[in-house]
Structure 1
Amino acid sequence: MATIPEEQDRRRTLLRRSPVSRRAALRGATGAAAALALTAGPWAQLARAQERVGVVGRHLAFGDDPRTTMAIAAELVDRPGGAVAVELGLDPAYGATLPVDVRNLVNSGHSEQYFAHAAATGLAPGTEYHYRFRLADGRTTPDATFRTAPGAGDRSPFVFTAFADQGVNTGGGEGANRYPGDRGDVGKPADALTALVAETRPAFHLLAGDICYADRPAVGSFDPGLWTAYFTAVERSAAQTPWMFATGNHDMEPSYDDGDAGHGYGGHAARLALPTTGPSGCPSVYVFTHGCVGVVSVDANDLSAEIDDNAGYSDGAQVRWLEGTLSALRADPAITFVVVFFHHCAYSTSEAHASDGGVREALTPLFDRFRVDLAVQGHNHQYERTDPIRGGRATRAAPDGETVRPETDGTTYLCVGSGGRNSNGWLDDAGDSHRGTPGEDREIRSRVHGGEDESVTWSRVRYRGYAFLRVEVTPGTPGGTATMAVHAVTDGGEEIDRVDLARPVPALWTPV
C-alpha cells in the first residue's frame, strides 16, 4: 500500500498534466450545490433554504481557550462575490462584525470548494452569543447561538456527547452509508444520532475519527461532495454546539496537498478550525478544558500497527507532547477528570479491526501513569465498554450501573464506532452483552494487531448497533466528590448501559 506522501506525489503529477479550471468551480457533480440536490427529508428543506442564502453546513469548534474563543465556519455554495462577514452579539441585534477568511480548497480530482471561517475572540466565559453569516449582497443565515465554556471557579454541571465513524446518510450518493441486514433502530442511524445530540444540546461533542468517508476506498475514489453533505446533515447540532474532531484512517486524504507534512490533512485545514494547542505538525492533536474536565485529541494514525499509511509521521513528537500534557492536567487542581479520544482501539473484541497493538503500546502506559479516567475510541463499528484497566488487566468488574473510581481502579475504555457507519460483528461470534441482553457465559477473545491474540476478561458491555455517549458531569464542591455519569444511548433513544466515574475534589484550591 502506498504511503500518503507517495500517493500525493502521484496526484501532483496528474494535476500538473491537467490543471484545475477554477471557472468550473462547484459546477460538477461533487460541488456543494450538487451534493445538496441529493438530500431528502425534513432537514434537507432547511438545507436547501440555506443553499439559497449561499451558506451551508455551519459548524463550530472551540478555540485555544474555550472560555473566551469560538471558531465559526461554514461552506459557501459558490465563489464569494465580495466580502463575507459574521455578525455577533449577545442578542439577535448583534452589534459586532467579524472578518471572514475564505479558504479555497482544490483537490487533484478537479473539485473546488470554499470554506468561510471567523474567529470570535475576547468572549466572556459562560455566556450565550448569537451569530449569523452575512454575504456581500446582504443575504444572511438564520440566527444561531452558542455558549462559551464556564469561567474559573464555576462548578455548574454540564453534559457532553461522543461517537465515531459516522458517515453520511443523506446527500452522499454512492458514498452514503448502507445498511443491508443491519440492526439500526431507525432507518438512518447517522441522522438519528445527530438529531439526538442536537436534542441534548451538549456543551461540546467529540467525534473520534472517520468523519464522513469521502475517500470511498471500495471504489478507489474521493468525493469531496460528501463533506458538503456531511456538514449539512450535522448542522442542526454543529451550528450551535462545538463539534471537536479527531482523525481516523478514513480522514487521511492524499487528494489534498499539505506540502511537506505528508499526512493528508490539507483538506481539514480548509474545512475545520481546531485548537492549535498540540505539537507542531500534528493538526488534529490538541487539548482543551471545559470546567473540571480536560479533553485531549490524539491522532492514532501516527501510532497504528494495523494501518501504516501515516504511522510514525510525528517521529515521536505526539507521544512526548501527550506525556507533558497529561502531566500538566493532573497537576492542575481545577481539573478533576481527564478524557482522551482517538480512533484506533487499544482494547476491542470486534471481528473487524479489534485491538491495535501500536496504539496500546504508546498510550496505555501514559494512561496508567497519569490516571486517565476515560478513553473514547472508534474504528470498530459497534459499542463496547471495558472494565477499568491498569497494567493491561481489568482491576475489577464494572457491570451496568456500577461506580468506578479511576484513581485506584484504572481507565475505562469505550469504543463508540457506533456513530452511523454499517456495523461490525464480534470475534468468534461472541454476541452482544448489555442491559436487557445478558449474553452468554463463554470465552471472549481479542485480536491484537502488532501483538498476540488474547483471551480477555475486560470486555464488559457489547452492543452491535448504533449508539452515542451522553456524559453528565457533576463537578461537585471542594472537599466533596465529582462524578461523570456515562450513558450509552441507541439511535432509537434507549439507554443500554451506564457507568459512573467518581473522583474526590481537592478541599482547597485557588481558581486561575
Structure 2
Amino acid sequence: MTQNSSAGSADNRHRVIPLVEQHEFFQQMLRRSPVSRRGVLRGSVSAAGASFLVGGSLVGSASASASASSSADDLTTTGTIAGGFVVNGRHLSFGPDPKRQMRVAGQLFDLNTYNAVPSGIKVEVEYGYEAGAYGHTVAAEIRQLVTHVPVWNGVPTGPVTASLTDLLRADQFYVHALIDCLEPGRTYHYRFVYTKHGERGHTPDATFTTAPDGRRFLSPFTFTAYGDQGITGAPGTGRTLDDAPSLQPEPSSHITDDYYNPSDPDYFDPASTTAPTDISPVAALVTQITRVRNPVNHTPSRFTLLAGDMCYANPSGNAQPIINPAGPGGNQPGDSNTPVPPPNSGGWDDYDPYVWTSYLTTIEPSSASIPWMFNTGNHDVELFTTSLDADAATVDAYGRLGYGGHASRIDMPANGPRSCPSVYSFTYGNVGVVSADANELSWEIQGLLGYSAGEQASWLRRRLGEFRHDPAIDFIVVFFHHCAFSTCDGHSSDGGVRKVLAPLLSEFEVDLAVQGHNHIYERSNPIKYDAATNTGSSSVQATSKSAHEAATVRPQTDGTTYITVGSGGRPRYSWSGAVETDRNFLTGVDTGAPGNGTTVTADPATSQGPSAAQLDFTREYETVDWSQARYSDYAFIALDVVPAAPDGTATMTVRAINEQGVEFDRVVFKRDVRGRGPYSL
C-alpha cells in the first residue's frame, strides 16, 4: 500500500497521519506509556486464552471454555495458586554438567491479569528423592521480558490513522533455578513453590533424571529430536483442549495453523458432532515422545533436541526487525514485515509474544520431565530497534541478535563461543551433542550472517576435535536449523551452511547431522563432501526396507548422514523433483516407481529440482544422488544408543516415527571401539 499525506477527517481521533509524522506519533505513544524493569505496565489476557493456558497442563478436568475466574477453583485438582499466581509451562534443560546439574524453568503469571507484576512473591524449587519429602530447596530467579511496541489495530483500507494504532503491552515473567551437586544417573522429584501474602502454591510433582557418569554404569538409552514445531492449531471451538480458543500467531503473516485437510489421519471436521481425542500434530508428537521407550531396557527418552523454529511467535522469519513504521505494505525495511491484518484479528503485528505461553504449555507434558535442548532457527529471531519504534526497554530485552527473549524464557548450557548464545555442547553417556547456529551461516536468510566474525566456526572446530579425540565419546550428533543437504522444495539446501559445516562434520567424522527448516522428513545416504564444488555425493546406499531390515552405516568410513526432520507440526512441504515421491518402508522403496530413487534431478533452465542458496541470493540447481528416505508428514526421530558390546562395537539406531506412533524409517550407526575397553551394561 502506498502512503499519502492527505488531511483526512477533521476529527483528530481519525486523523490520517502523514508518513513524516508516523515515527514521532509512535514515539509519543511510547513516551505516554513508559516501561522500565522496575515499573511495568499491566494488561490482560482474554478469558478464553487464560483458560487454555491453565487447562493445557495443570488442570486435568478444566473445560477449555471455562472463564479465567472459574479456572482458579479447577486448578486445585492438580496444582495450587498463591495470590492469583501460578507457574505453568515447566521445562527442563541440562546445566553445563548434565551429570550433576539440571535447570528448571516455567512461566509465572496471574490468572486474572496476565501481565500483573509479581511483586512480593517468592519462588523456590523443592527437590529430592521422594515426592512430598523433597528435603532440598533452591531459590528461583524471576526474569522479566518487556515487549512494548506499536501495532496496527484493525484493517487499514487507507493511510494509517490514529484510531487504527495500538500498543502491544506484554510483560512476561519466567522463573529459573539451577539445581547443582546432584548424583549422576539418579532420578529426582521436584516442584515449584511460590508464596505471596501468606498464601502458598505449588506445581504438581514431576521428576527428572541426571546423565550417567561417563563410562561407568552406562546402560542403553534413548533421546529424541525434531524441529519446526509451532503450537496447537487455529483458534477453535473450545470443544477439546487441542481445539481451544488460544493465543495464536497472527494470520495476517500469511502463515496459518489451520492447514488440516481430509487426507490427514487426524482430520477434524468442525461440523462433526464427535470431538476427536487429538487434532493437532504438535500435541500428537509431544504425546508420542512421552511414549518412546528404549528397546533394550524400556527406559523413556532422556532428552529432546529441538532443531530451531520453536513456536513461530515471529511468523515472518526473515531475521529482520519486526515492526515496520512505513505501515501495511510499506517498504521499511521490507514489504513482508507488516501485511494488512484481517478483520477481527485483534490487531497484532507479525510478532505475538503470548504465543510463547501456549507453546510452553503444549510441550510441558514432556519438557517437565526431560530436558528440551533448543536450537535457534530463522523464526526464532525476535529483533527490535528503537528506530523502528520499539521502546528502549524492549530493545534492551531482546538484544542485538533478537535472542534476548530466549534468554528470559529458556536455558541453554552457555558453554559455547561468547558471541553465540545458542551455540553450545554437552555430553550424555558416550554421545557428544553440539548445537550450531545456522542463522549465522545462512545465505538464504542473511539477517544475522557473519555476526560472530568467525568465532562460531573456530569454536566448532575445537569442540568437534575434542569430542572425536575423547575415548569416552563414540557418537557425535550436531543439530542446527537451515539444511546443508535437502531436496525439499520449501528451502532445499543452504550453500552457506553447507560451506562452513560440511567440511567440519566430514573432518571429525560426525555421525549424524539433525536439521530443521524444511517441513518434511528426509534422510540422506552418508555423504562425502567436495569442498571444491561445495557439493556432496553418496558413499554407500543406506536403504532401510523394514524395521527388521534397517540400513547400516559405518561413519568412520562412510561419512556423515544428514537427516532433515523439520516435521514437528508446521504446514508440510513437498519434494522439489518433478516426479519425486515419499520413499520409506511404509510406501515401499523397491517399487521402481518414477521418482522413488535416491537420485533427484535438477533442471536449471526451468528452476526445478534440488538447489542450494547462494551468497548473491541466487540458487544453484544441482542433481543429487543421496536422497535415501523421504516422508512428507509429521514426524520425529528416536535415537537408541547401545554402548560397546563384547565385540567392541557401539551402536546408535535412528527410528523415524510419525504422529500416530508408526515407525517408517530406521538406520543403525556402528562404531568400532576395540581397544578402549567395554562399557558396563
Compared with structure 1, are the counterparts of its residues 425 and 497 closer, same or farther at alpha carbon in structure 2 (3 Å cutoff)? same
- Say if 1:510 and 1:353 are closer, same or farther in 2 by CA, change over 3 A: same
- 1:26/1:77 contact within 8 Å kept: no
Q: TM-score normalized by structure 2?
A: 0.70
Equivalent residue number for residue 435 of structure 1: 585
CA contact (8 A) 2:521 2:564 kept: yes
AA matched with 2:560:
T
Pairing 1:448–2:612 present:
yes
Is 1:82 aligned with 2:127? no
Tell me the distance in 1 between the aligned counterparts of 2:58 and 2:397: 36
Pair 1:483-2:651 in alignment = yes
What amino acid is aligned across from residue 109 of structure 2 in structure 1?
Answer: V
Of 94, 104, 126, 2:185 maps to 126
Query: Can you list the C-alpha shifts for 1:438-489, whole angstroms capped at 9, x where unaligned?
Result: 3633451411101521011100111110001011000124751110110000
Say if 1:260 and 1:434 are closer, same or farther in 2 by CA, change over 3 A: closer
Map of 1:246 onto structure 2: 375
State the one-letter code of the partner of 2:223.
F
Q: Evaluate the alpha carbon distance shift between residue 15 and residue 65 of structure 1 in structure 2; reply closer, same or farther with a 3 A threshold.
A: farther
CA 1:135–1:149 in 2, change beyond 3 Å: closer, same or farther?
Answer: same
Contact 2:489 2:575 in 1 (8 A): yes
CA distance in 2 between counterparts of 1:355 and 1:265 reads 24
Taking the aligned partners of 1:13 and 1:491, their CA distance within structure 2 comes to: 49
How far off is 1:209 after superposition? 0.2
Tell me, yes or no, if the aligned pair for 2:92 and 2:103 is still in contact at 8 Å.
Answer: yes
Residues 50-95 of structure 1: CA deviation (Å, up to 9, x unaligned): 7863110000000001000000000001333321110011111001
Kept after mapping to 2: 8 A contact 1:86/1:131 = yes
What CA distance in whole angstroms lies between the structure 2 residues aligned with 1:235 and 1:419? Answer: 15
Structure having the larger proportion of residues in helix? 1
Query: 1:425 aligns to what SS in structure 2?
Result: coil
Unmatched 5+ stretches in structure 2: 1-24, 63-70, 111-116, 150-168, 233-241, 251-255, 267-278, 293-299, 317-335, 340-348, 385-393, 530-535, 545-549, 601-608
Secondary structure of 1:138's counterpart equals strand
1:386-424 Cα deviation digits (max 9, x unpaired): 000012111011111111000100111000000011111
Partner of 2:282: 190
Residue type matched to 2:540 in 1?
Answer: R
Where in structure 2 are the equivalents of 1:63-212 lying within 5 Å? 63-78=95-110, 79-80=117-118, 81-92=120-131, 93-109=133-149, 110-136=169-195, 137-153=199-215, 154-169=217-232, 170=242, 171-175=246-250, 177-181=257-261, 184-186=264-266, 187-200=279-292, 201-212=300-311
Task: Please report the RMSD computed on the Cα atoms of aligned residues, expressed in angstroms.
Answer: 2.5
Range with greater deviation from structure 2 (150-159 or 233-242): 150-159
1:432 shift after superposition: 1.1
Residue of structure 2 equivalent to 1:223: 352
| Cα distance change, pair 183–125 in 1 and its aligned pair in 2 (3 A) | farther
Name the residue aligned to 1:37: 51
1:253 to 1:42, Cα distance in 2 relative to 1, 3 A: closer
1:61 is the counterpart of 2:93:
yes
Q: Give, in whole Å, the separation in 2 of the partners of 1:285 and 1:425.
A: 30
What is the letter of the counterpart of residue 232 of structure 1? T
Larger Rg belongs to: 2
- Structure with more contact order per residue of length (Cα contacts < 8 Å, sep ≥ 6): 1
Q: TM-score, normalised by structure 1?
A: 0.92
Corresponding residue number in structure 2 for 1:5: none
Residue pair 1:60, 1:241 contacting (<8 A) in 2 also: yes
CA–CA distance in structure 2, aligned partners of residues 351 and 497 of structure 1? 21
AA aligned to 2:202 is T
Identity, % of aligned positions: 45
The residue type equivalent to 1:173 in the other structure is: Q
Question: How many corresponding residue pairs?
Answer: 499
Report whether the alignment pairs 1:464 with 2:627: no
**In terms of mean alpha carbon deviation, does 478-487 or 346-355 score higher?**
478-487
How far apart are the structure 2 equivalents of 1:12 and 1:462? 50
Give 1:387-466 correspondences, 5 Å limit. 387-391=525-529, 392-400=536-544, 401-429=550-578, 430-438=580-588, 440-442=593-595, 444=600, 445-450=609-614, 452-466=620-634
* Greater shift in the superposed pair: 219-228 or 353-362: 219-228
- Are 1:274 and 2:404 an aligned pair? no
